[in-house]
Amino acid sequence: LVAAVALVLIISGIFLFINRQEEVTWTEVRTTPRRSPRSIVLSDGSTILLNASSWLKYPEKFTGKNREVYLDGEALFTVARNERRSFIVHTDRQEIQVLGTQFNVQGYSSDPRTITTLITGKVKLATYDNNHQAKNGMMMHPNQQVFFDKRSNEVSVSEIDPSDAVTWIKGVYSFRDASLDEITRRLEKVLGISFVITDDADRIEKYTGKFFSHQSSQEIAAVLNFKGQFRPEFRNDTLFLLKK
């Protein structure tokens, strides 16, 4: 009987020890529009620059076999190398796994696509459908940018200058051959301006240009209307791009 009691106590002690080992304290960070990137240093020495209108969840200390964080928004990751513990970034229906590297993720859950840009190192990228069933898996190499369309589950890869993807850390938002819909979606998040495009044909028009985080709403309207194709009108902090 004494031996049985001792065995129960030992098992209980092991169970409590394991539970304590698995306890994780999480930190959540939210940023607002028109603010400088938020710099975050993780317990392993990895650094994250978090863009405007973004949310990040990370543990105060990594305790499991992997280093895992959760992102809804945009961030530039510089991951400390650790051969034994992968670093995993979870976004809406996408997972990025690395050992040590630098990459940018534009992964707002409200956007129809997620954009991942690899600057150095290698990453393993996986995408999922609405039922969290794996759809695509691939290895990315430096200077590659992957577009994941969450509506069609399709993935496309292009070779780019990765510095173009991180101009936001200096308050510059660059667009190259981007639709007006894509541009206004991004500006809504980072600058806090609401847009209404009244003509569907205008949504798919392509533009190339730059915007700056210090620009006023009126200056943004003037840039978008550089060809005089719209009649910009502000109504209760919303910019309507009316067809002329």
pLDDT at residue 223 is higher than 80: yes
CB half-sphere exposure, 54, CA atoms < 13 A: 26
Give the residue from 102, 164, 101, 152 showing the smallest Cα distance to 127.
152
Tokens 């990765």 -> residue: 162
Domain-wise residue ranges, the chain: 25-160, 171-243
Task: Classify domain 25-160 by CATH number.
Answer: 2.60.120.1440
Q: How confident is the model at residue 7 (pLDDT cuts 50, 70, 90)?
A: very low
For 171-243, CATH number out of 3.40.50.300, 3.55.50.30, 1.10.10.10, 2.60.40.420 equals 3.55.50.30
pLDDT tens-digit readout, 162-193: 999 999 999 999 999 999 999 999 999 999 99
pLDDT tens-digit readout, 47-87: 999 999 999 999 999 998 999 999 999 999 999 999 999 99
- Gap between the Cα atoms of 110 and 51, Å rounded: 15
